[in-house]
A = this chain, B = another copy of it.
Amino acid sequence: MSKIVFQRTKGLTEKEFSYCPGCTHGIIHRLVAEVLEELNILDKAIGISPVGCAVMNYEFFNCDMQQAAHGRAPAVATGIKRVRPDNIVFTYQGDGDLASIGTAEIVHAAHRSENITVIFINNAVYGMTGGQMAPTTLVGQKTTTSPFGRDARLCGEPIRMSELLATIPGATYVERVSVHDPANVRKAKRAVKKAFEIQMKGLGFAFVEFISTCPVNWGKTPQEALNWAKEHMINYYPLGVFREPKEDAQ
Contacts and interface: CB of A to CB of B under 8 A. Distances in A.
Interface stretch (A12-20, A31-39, A104-112): A104-112
A112 B155 contact: yes
A93 to B, nearest CB: 14
A100 interface: yes
A96 interface: no
Given A101-B104, A108-B103, A108-B135, A159 B168 contact: yes
Given A160-B167, A167-B160, A168-B164, A108 B112 contact: no
A156 interface: yes
Interface string A105-127: 00110111100000000000000
Contacts of A107: 103, 107, 159, 164
Interface residues of A, number: 27
A163 interface: yes
Nearest to A154: B112
A170 interface: yes
15 contacts: A103-B103, A103-B104, A103-B107, A103-B108, A104-B104, A107-B159, A107-B164, A156-B169, A157-B169, A158-B169, A159-B168, A160-B169, A164-B164, A164-B168, A166-B167
Given A111-B135, A112-B156, A164-B168, 10 more contacts: A101-B104, A103-B107, A103-B108, A107-B159, A111-B159, A156-B169, A156-B170, A157-B169, A166-B167, A167-B167
